[in-house]
Amino acid sequence: MQMNNEQFEKLLQNKKDQSFHFEKSEEEFLAEFLAATDRPAACDFRFLRRAALFAVAAGAAIFIWFSMKPEEPVVSPEVDLMTETLRLFAGDDVAVLFVDNDLVIGERTSDEHPENLLKVSLDENIELKIACANNDSISINSSNVYGNVIVSQSDSQTLVLDIDLLIQGRHINTKIPVERGVTKVEKNGLHS
Amino acid sequence: VQDAIYKNIFAELIRSRLPLFRSVAVKIVNSSADADDVVQNALLRAWNKRRSFSGRREALSAWVVKIVVSESYNLLRKREREGNKLQRIVPVEQRENPLLPELDKAIAQLPELYRETVHVAILCDLSIEDAGRVLGCSANTLYQRIHKAKSMIREIMRRNANE
């Protein structure tokens, strides 16, 4: 299609001259607009549909990602709690114990860092979590717990806990062998 | 109170600029009824975003023009999607001049900036200064855009004819 400049300008003028008749007067148009502004904005269903599709796709992607992710080793929350508490009570002279999840602070005699995190079931419904060194002496003098825990290294693998505690009015006096490190011991002294 | 002020601003805008908005829309959609719908939708879109607008009133007019152009082309695309369900309205002038649909097609293929230039600065009865104010550019810039838009239209029409 070859058009010279004059023909092209004429075509544009033709387009410009197109006349249309509008039914509504300006005032009618304005009244309609003002009435529409008083109505609450219409819900954009197209947007909602897209948002719903996106949410479903994102959910599926997250599900697939989690199902393909290799399982991480499970760390006992108690140990996490103990580690975090130790971090907060950073000094080596402070002993940190948990009696049934209640934090108890005592004193330590050892200069070594408390690298053993132990969980021991002492008696019916009493559970003790304790951070201690291989050779340690912990004394507690709080309102609910009173007494001492002596920790002695038996061999390269084993510690012996000599527990002499008054917990909520109950006297507990026992010796329990435990493995060094992060470990859990039931009340009869067997390793779990 | 704020909404009452905004209503006054929009009412003034409609009274002073409705012919321009209609003129822009009708030359794209080729139907006065559709053009009115397009302009209403554009104004409502601007109204819904009124709180984000803090410019001058002239800038509000330019903003609405841009929405009118984009809404008009949205309507054309919708018509195309619906195909046979809607008869495309062809005005008498277009039936008489077979090149007018080709011109519409070429304008639709322009980049947005030049499409707005054609609709506001060429096809509407506005002076260059007024069109520049509406499009937010100087008269000099607008002259350049008009020149570029025209040569692009001719090139597109030539290419379309060869396909």
Is pLDDT above 60 for B15?
A: yes
Report the mean per-residue pLDDT for chain B. Answer: 85
B4 or B144: whose pLDDT is higher?
A: B144
Whether B120 shows a pLDDT value over 80: the answer reads yes
Comparing B100 with B51, the larger pLDDT belongs to B100
The string of pLDDT tens digits covering residues A9-52 is 999 998 888 888 888 998 999 999 999 988 765 555 666 777 78
How far is A75 from B42, CA to CA, in rounded Å?
59
Tell me which amino acid residue A190 is.
Answer: L
CB count within 10 Å of CB A161 equals: 24
Looking at residue B40, its pLDDT comes to 95
Task: Inform me whether the C-beta atom of residue A10 falls under 8 Å from chain B C-beta atoms.
Answer: no
User: Which residues 18-37 on chain A approach chain B with CB closer than 8 angstroms?
Assistant: 18-24, 26, 29-30, 32-34, 36-37
Percent of chain B with pLDDT over 70: 88
CB atoms A37 and B94 under 8 Å:
no
pLDDT of residue A189: 39
Q: Tokens for B128?
A: 């260059």
Question: What number is the average pLDDT over the span B63-87?
Answer: 80
* Mean pLDDT over the full length of chain A: 77
CB-based contact B102 A30, cutoff 8 Å: no
pLDDT at A124: 65
**C-alpha distance from B25 to closest chain A C-alpha (Å):** 11
A44: which chain B residues are within 8 Å (Cβ-Cβ)? none
User: How much is the pLDDT for B88?
Assistant: 53
Amino acid B124: pLDDT: 87
- What pLDDT was estimated at residue A95? 82
Highest mean predicted confidence (pLDDT) among A173-182, B9-18, B141-150: B141-150
At A188 the pLDDT is 41
Alpha carbon distance A143, A103 (integer Å): 12
pLDDT in 10s for each residue of chain A, 192 residues: 678 888 899 999 988 888 888 889 989 999 999 999 887 655 556 667 777 888 888 888 888 877 776 555 444 445 566 777 776 665 667 787 788 777 787 888 777 778 888 888 876 677 888 888 888 888 887 777 888 888 888 788 888 888 888 887 778 888 888 888 766 554 443 333
Chain B residue whose CA is closest to A8: B154
* Beta partners for residue A80, in sequence order: none
